[in-house]
Amino acid sequence: MTKRGAKGASGTAATKRSAGAATRRSAGAATKRSAGTSTKRGSGASAKRSAKTAAKGSAVRTAKRPAKRAPKTTPLTEYNAKRDFTRTVEPAGKVPKPRGKTLHFVIQKHAASHLHYDFRLELDGVMKSWAVPKGPSLDPAVRRLAMEVEDHPIAYNTFEGTIPQGEYGGGTVMLWDRGTYEADDDGGAASLRSGYEKGELRFVMHGKRLRGGFVLTRRRRPGRPQWLLIKRRDAYADPERDVTTEETTSIATRRTMEQIASGRRVWHSDR
């Protein structure tokens, strides 16, 4: 073989080796790229699946987790919160068992920091209560302001005496009137409850001093609910009478406020 032939053969072999190496390098690089891409894709898909699974699990746990319950309240929560019954002889705020369909009311003349009349109507086991600064009127043209206060227990209806000054509600308390009452449409407690919730409470009173129809109308004002107590036009309406000026003694004991204040029955609400 000539030198030229030998060189040609050698060059051809080198060329083949170079081409093979290049092919192998290209194939290896492609394989690595493919593997890397596949790995990235797999990793991304796996991450997405994990995120979805976690989100789904969280949703399931949230759905299974019971909602927090609101604090349980009783009809006399506010009344009880104002009093420490380990230190006071006031009646505890308990709702008695239903005793029939007859509903009672009581009006207590109360000489506290300011003289007013506590107007209380039995409903749903408690006494819905309002403080009426000037007391009730028999004149349908007169509207008496009635500030709603906390519900009181029914046991409060029989109290007459003196709460020492400096204590909660300190002053003399008189049983000024009491009796029964009913809804003016014969709808019973359901009608009264509906009227109270709507702010238009219509009722008929059967007391010693107050009789006939009355209405309590809630005013649209912020803060503690304010109502108006109004006598309805009927046979018991009397614009000429000032019933709070005429009637100045207790319906239970016939005592005046001065006689009650000087009596021995003293109610300590915090001792």
Q: Which of 68, 96, 119 is at the close of a domain?
A: 68
Q: What is the pLDDT of residue 9?
A: 46
Q: What is the pLDDT of residue 184?
A: 96
Residues 179 and 141 in one domain: yes
Domain count, the chain: 2
CA–CA distance, 235 with 207 (Å, rounded to integer): 15
Q: Does some domain include residue 13? A: yes
Residues 156 and 60 in one domain: no
Q: Does some domain include residue 266? A: no
Q: Does some domain include residue 169? A: yes
Residue 145 CB coordination number (10 Å)? 15
The residues with which 178 forms a beta bridge, in sequence order, are: 106
Residue 270 CB coordination number (10 Å)? 15
Q: What is the pLDDT of residue 120?
A: 98
Residues 125 and 32 in one domain: no
Residues 11 and 113 in one domain: no
Stretch 112-139: mean pLDDT: 96
By percentage, how much of the chain surpasses pLDDT 70?
A: 64
Q: What is the pLDDT of residue 232?
A: 98
pLDDT tens, position by position, 11-70: 444 445 554 555 455 555 544 554 444 444 545 555 556 555 555 555 545 555 555 555
Q: Which residue would you say has higher pLDDT here, 95 or 109?
A: 109
Residues 31 and 54 in one domain: yes
Residues 190 and 224 in one domain: yes
Residues 56 and 82 in one domain: no
Stretch 251-257: mean pLDDT: 96
Q: pLDDT band at 235, cuts 50/70/90? A: very high
Q: Which residue would you say has higher pLDDT here, 86 or 92?
A: 92
Residues 86 and 191 in one domain: yes
Closest CA to 176 of 247, 82, 100, 85: 247
Q: What is the pLDDT of residue 41?
A: 54
pLDDT tens, position by position, 153-209: 999 899 898 887 777 788 899 999 999 999 999 999 999 999 999 999 999 999 999
Q: pLDDT band at 270, cuts 50/70/90? A: very low
Q: By residue range, what is the domain housing residue 41?
A: 1-68
By percentage, how much of the chain surpasses pLDDT 90?
A: 52
